[in-house]
Structure 1
Amino acid sequence: MEQYEQIRRQLTIYETLINEIDAGIHVIDEYGKTIIYNDKMMEIESLSREDVLNKDFLDIFKFKDKQGSTLLEALHHQKVSAQKKQTYFTKGGKEITTMNRTFPIYDGENIIGAMEVAKDVTKLEQLIRRNMEQKGNTRYTFDSIIGGSQAISEVIEHTKRATRTPSSVLIVGETGTGKELFAQSIHNGSDRTQRPFISQNCAAMPDTLIESILFGTSKGAFTGATEKIGLFEQAEGGTLLLDEINSLSPTLQAKLLRAIQEKSIRRIGDTIDRKVDVRIISTINEDPIEAIAENRLRKDLFYRLSVVSLFIPALKERKEDIPLLVESFIGKYNQLFRMDVLGVTEEVHEIFRQYDWPGNVRELEHIIEGAMNLVIDEEWIDVSHLPYSLKNKTHLLKQTVTAPVREIENFNDQAEPRILKDYLHEAERYYINKALEKHKYHKTNAATELGLSRQTLQYRMKRLNIE
């Protein structure tokens, strides 16, 4: 009798524990019938125990085509799942989305059932889906911009002000700084948010094709031409993002200038001007003044596009944001890869602090993604997970700055200290020369390592009298 009472008390404790856990618990036996179904699972699925207990699992729950149950996979195939998202329907037609941890239950070597621990993400999934439907093909808002440094905070503040008007915006920033993120944030923060957001990379197409893409074509304009609207008309009432505007030919830049000034376009081969209401946001990945000086950007188009100018800082100018960015990317790929990486080691943080990030935020994300592909059982990303090129460049960086740093350290010993402008001029010249020597004066390779375009490197070499 005493043994029976002890067993009864243990069962009461187990039952209380299972029902107090803030996660759904669903256990089936070796025949696929439910034997445990806790209070939280009842709440998630809006079912009672009487609806589920001792019933065949597939009589109660239905799954989309080609999608199986993780619980049955654990029972029939001994498959263990961790943090796996699953969408299914109850017998009454209610749609449920959960994040599951599922595993088989063994009695010695025999499988006697399977257990699922589920977190309800139905409302979150529906909210994400609804927001995506409202935003169309835009997914970024100001909340998507990661960073708390003064450099990025000032740009965010200026960008938010640009949402109030339909004025043209020119976003200046190196490749990988997140220019489209800012462009989408402006669109989604403006009164045009319910209208189309159309994006076109101007460097991705030849001029003959990009013109028809932007302005459309009239039937018979050329052999095989059909009546087709261009991006200006597709973006009516919304926003048109023109990425890498400096890659357009001067002739096409002139046509674009006319369209913006007249607020009208003419399809290729047509004789009719069509009014358009489109806000233009454009981006450029180099100093616009250099682009104008080297005839890659028309001055009059620049003035028309840059009513509002935003300068996105390079990652090397806001390194204090790197820990936040690293945390965000690890969280993203933890979910995508179903991993539980906690972070990066202090040594990796130090490498990140030293590195100049020529590829900016995009390069940092790619490095985190690559490192997580190499993580197996570790909880932290360490130096062994980083690409060799990063570790090598960090070592070279220490070497190339040695001379300028030594001069700074000896500043108090100099008889006639130079003004900052002269020092920076010489330091830049020294650094570029080192890069050129390393790559045997192959300008394209040297420019890539320095994080510059070949044209910008040539411009700087000319300015610094480097042969």
Structure 2
Amino acid sequence: MEFHLRGNIEKHIFISILDAIDSAITVIDCNGVTIFYNKAATRMEGLNPEEVIGKHLLSIYPSLNENNSSLLKVLETKWPVVEQQQTLVTNTGKKGTVLYSTYPLFKDGVLIGAFDISRDITEIKNLSERLVDLQAKLMDNKKKLASSSYNNNYSSRFTLDDIIGESQAIIKLKKLARRVAYSPSPILLYGETGTGKEVFVQAIHNEGDNGNKPFVAQNCAALPATLLESILMGTVKGSFTGSEDRPGLLEIAHGGTLLLDEINSMPLELQSKILRVLQEGCFRRIGDTKLRHAESRIVACTNVDPTEAVKNKNLRIDLYYRLNVISLYIPPLRERKEDIPPLVNHFINKLGDRFHVSIKGVEDRVMTVFDNYDWPGNVRELQHCLEHAINVMSGSIIKLEHMPLYLTKHFSRNNIYGVSLPSILDVQSLPEALSTIEANFIRDALAKCSWNVTQTARMLKIPRQTLQYKMRNLELNTNNGGNL
């Protein structure tokens, strides 16, 4: 009696856990009869357990048969089927696309059934396919416009002139981008999130000979593996249940540029197919035997160091070498602070036009904060900070109080000038307090210029002799690490 009671409790716990899981779970016995159907499956397919349990699988799903049912296939082969895509139609007429994995069930080495774990990707699939269809229509319209000698780029709007920056790193990168724009070789672009990778790729595309051809971008982290493959490669009718004849992005980008963002998030198996496209210049739609030629330039972006992605097995080493024919790196904003003033001017003009307000500039305290902040979100974060300010300000000057709360808290009044309030209160007089602030300010400037006095004087906008005089008075010398 105690054993039976314990068994019932354990069964109740097990079923409660399965019902709490977000993924739909269906279990059948060796005869194909459903013996378990959890709550997530009910929500996903619109069927009640009473309509399913005790009935044969094929009587529940008219769209399935012995050849295309993964559960029946697993019963036959005794091998799992992992991460596949399928469109189902229930006996109530509800249609949906699922991403599923199916496994055999054994007890003491004997097959006793199979179970299926699936999640609904209908909405994602529909949205992705609508986007692909829209891109295809845009490309068709663009070709028609081009044939009527009217040139208008629907897909990419940025040029190298839109890349804002005065740092040597950005100037050098723009020169390199202009040089490689006319090459058909693949590009691997590395930059942290928010550095403007897609803007650079669009600019390269528009600079080159194929600027009037399609520009197509796909984030590889945004879709499940099998759906991503069908979006990139395309499908033929009958390749899987519910599939249709549909071109993929490789075809839509014909003659232009295909951007694969976050390539390190693409499944390794799919990476091998991209490698083949790069090496052989051809591909097959899913379920097709016909080889199609891929004549688009592939540009891949990653927000982590590509060598680290290879080391962590997120990027195939052979694909890395094939993509890395041309390697570009966008440094983070914290490594090129001299780009902040022109970026600020650019964004306040752009945002001022968008919000129909006149903005004269930003106060010095804001620029001090900007110059001392690390900008983990890079250029995008800077733009959003300024947009926040424009939404809350009432005058024509952006002030510190208009900045997002996290930024003003990060730089409170106590440390905004590089010295804490207690240390100022410890001094005897105003001249001593000003001397402390000036020493910190000059020391920071020297450090940023690697203790090069000429460059530091230029940055501080004071004569070189004046800076040397102040350094002597403040007992600062270039032995800290630089040259006069």
The answer to whether the 8 A contact 1:176-1:361 is kept is yes
Of 302, 308, 313, the match for 1:295: 313
- Equivalent position of 1:18 in the other structure: none
CA distance in 2, matches of 1:333, 1:260: 40
- Equivalent position of 2:215 in the other structure: 197
- Equivalent position of 1:390 in the other structure: 407
Unaligned 5+ segments in structure 2 are: 1-147, 420-438, 440-449, 451-484
Check if 1:337 corresponds to 2:350. no
Task: Write out per-residue CA displacement over residues 137-174 of structure 1, whole angstroms, 9 at most, x where no aligned residue.
Answer: 11100010001111111111111111121000011000
Of 319, 327, 331, the match for 1:313: 331
> Aligned-pair RMSD on alpha carbons?
2.3
- Equivalent position of 1:243 in the other structure: 261
Of 347, 366, 380, the match for 2:365: 347
- Equivalent position of 1:135 in the other structure: 153
Structure 1 residues 227 and 356, CA gap change in structure 2 (3 angstroms):
same
The answer to whether the 8 A contact 1:177-1:362 is kept is yes
- Equivalent position of 2:244 in the other structure: 226
Structure 1 residues 397 and 258, CA gap change in structure 2 (3 angstroms):
farther
Letter in 2 for 1:380: I
For the residue of structure 2 that corresponds to 1:200, the secondary structure is: strand
Check if 1:381 corresponds to 2:398. yes
Task: Write out per-residue CA displacement over residues 50-107 of structure 1, whole angstroms, 9 at most, x where no aligned residue.
Answer: xxxxxxxxxxxxxxxxxxxxxxxxxxxxxxxxxxxxxxxxxxxxxxxxxxxxxxxxxx
Of 375, 381, 385, the match for 1:367: 385
Q: 1:275 deviation in Å?
A: 1.1
The answer to whether the 8 A contact 1:266-1:272 is kept is yes
Aligned pairs (5 A) from 1:59-78: none
For the residue of structure 2 that corresponds to 1:170, the secondary structure is: strand
The answer to whether the 8 A contact 1:169-1:308 is kept is yes
Aligned pairs (5 A) from 1:158-197: 158-197=176-215
For the residue of structure 2 that corresponds to 1:135, the secondary structure is: coil
The answer to whether the 8 A contact 1:217-1:229 is kept is yes
Structure 1 residues 139 and 217, CA gap change in structure 2 (3 angstroms):
same
Structure 1 residues 396 and 168, CA gap change in structure 2 (3 angstroms):
farther
For the residue of structure 2 that corresponds to 1:164, the secondary structure is: coil
For the residue of structure 2 that corresponds to 1:339, the secondary structure is: coil
Aligned pairs (5 A) from 1:84-123: none
Q: 1:391 deviation in Å?
A: 1.8
- Equivalent position of 2:291 in the other structure: 273
The answer to whether the 8 A contact 2:151-2:212 is kept is no
For the residue of structure 1 that corresponds to 2:218, the secondary structure is: strand
Q: 1:388 deviation in Å?
A: 1.2
Letter in 2 for 1:381: I
Q: 1:306 deviation in Å?
A: 1.1
For the residue of structure 2 that corresponds to 1:161, the secondary structure is: helix
- Equivalent position of 2:125 in the other structure: none
Q: 1:392 deviation in Å?
A: 2.1
CA distance in 2, matches of 1:300, 1:246: 13
Task: Write out per-residue CA displacement over residues 211-270 of structure 1, whole angstroms, 9 at most, x where no aligned residue.
Answer: 000000011001111000000011111110101100001111111111111100100001
CA distance in 2, matches of 1:131, 1:289: 45
The answer to whether the 8 A contact 1:169-1:306 is kept is yes
The count of corresponding residues between Structure 1 and Structure 2 is 273
Q: 1:397 deviation in Å?
A: 12
The answer to whether the 8 A contact 1:151-1:317 is kept is no
- Equivalent position of 2:279 in the other structure: 261
The answer to whether the 8 A contact 2:214-2:256 is kept is yes
Task: Write out per-residue CA displacement over residues 271-301 of structure 1, whole angstroms, 9 at most, x where no aligned residue.
Answer: 1111121100110001111111111111100
Q: What is the percentage of aligned positions where both structures have the same residue? A: 49
CA distance in 2, matches of 1:358, 1:273: 44
Check if 1:285 corresponds to 2:303. yes
Of 324, 335, 340, the match for 2:342: 324
CA distance in 2, matches of 1:311, 1:190: 19
Letter in 2 for 1:166: P
- Equivalent position of 2:29 in the other structure: none
Unaligned 5+ segments in structure 1 are: 1-129, 403-408, 410-419, 421-467
For the residue of structure 1 that corresponds to 2:411, the secondary structure is: helix
Give the structure-2-normalised TM-score: 0.54
CA distance in 2, matches of 1:397, 1:207: 50
Structure 1 residues 132 and 180, CA gap change in structure 2 (3 angstroms):
farther
CA distance in 1, matches of 2:213, 2:157: 14
CA distance in 1, matches of 2:193, 2:184: 26
Please list every run of at least 4 consecutive aligned residues from structure 1 whose deviation after the TM superposition is greater than 6 angstroms: 396-399
For the residue of structure 2 that corresponds to 1:134, the secondary structure is: coil
- Equivalent position of 1:145 in the other structure: 163
The answer to whether the 8 A contact 2:188-2:327 is kept is yes
Give the structure-1-normalised TM-score: 0.56
The answer to whether the 8 A contact 1:132-1:139 is kept is no
Aligned pairs (5 A) from 1:14-25: none
The answer to whether the 8 A contact 1:132-1:138 is kept is no
Q: 1:393 deviation in Å?
A: 2.5
Task: Write out per-residue CA displacement over residues 372-428 of structure 1, whole angstroms, 9 at most, x where no aligned residue.
Answer: 00012x1100011001101223359969x99xxxxxx9xxxxxxxxxx9xxxxxxxx
